[in-house]
Amino acid sequence: MNRLDNLFSHKKKDTLAIYFTAGFPKLNDTRRILLELDAAGTDIIEIGMPFSDPLADGSTIQASSQKALGNGMSLKLLFEQLKDIRQETEIPIVLMGYINPVMVFGVEAFCKKCQEIGIDGLILPDLPLWEFNNNYKSIFEKYGIHAIFLVTPQTSDERVRILDAASSGFLYAVSVSTTTGSSGRFNKEQESYFKRLSNLKLNNPILVGFGIAESKNFKIANKYLNGGVVGSAFIRAIEKEESVDGFIKSLRG
């Protein structure tokens, strides 16, 4: 069973996913940070594949991506860093990035490598749904890689259901129509959006991303949906060399 499926088979609430950029702050930090997150009680680890033009990301993750690329990070090196990771942890691992580097690597070769390493899911915000369905869905399924799609407050109920049907593992609910790194308490409009998604009774669990920097918004996400994804706040924390364990404990309140 895919590790995401296994997780959600017994955990319906308070699911915490943490995003960090591979090769940041230092080139060889990827494995260390992953294992520290696992030890601290994170449920899902989302590793960013650095890209020169990360359109969905705010300034914090963009800067981490540029630093990682400057450090020498590449997909080939990321796979090398993770090649024996399943000897040390069974935590679900999702890769997030953009379709261009994956196409350069070769979509089937990329998915095969993910299967060999033990990657559970892939988030590609700029991959069109029609292109996935027509060209890549069978490849993802062949290698057991979950494709995770994003919905926003502007996504209609009909479109949400279509994206839910295409997704596996979980559905990623973008909290606001902006890039990553937004902050502030979720307002009534966002809570109404979370409630709307909950009422749709979708096939996949739903995790909220964009805008969760501390425990108050994580708790709101859990009030309506299955959990949340924290990225920019964690990037800032590790850049300042803050304790990973302390950061996770603060999020969980």
**Residues noted as catalytic:** 46, 57
User: Please, are residues 71 and 21 in contact by the beta-carbon 8 Å criterion?
Assistant: no
Question: Which residues have a Cβ under 8 Å from the Cβ of 85 and sit 6 or more positions away?
Answer: 31, 34, 93, 117, 118
Burial class, 1, CB count within 10 angstroms (exposed 0-12 / middle 13-18 / buried 19+): exposed
* Whether residue 54 has a cis bond before it, omega within 30° of 0: no
E strands of 50-174, at which residues?
93-96, 121-123, 146-147, 150-151, 171-174
Q: Report the distance separating Cα 193 and Cα 200, nearest Å.
A: 11
The Cα–Cα gap between 232 and 95 comes to 16
Give, rounded to a whole angstrom, the gap between the first and last alpha carbons of the chain: 31
Which residue, chain included where needed, has tokens 């926003």?
152
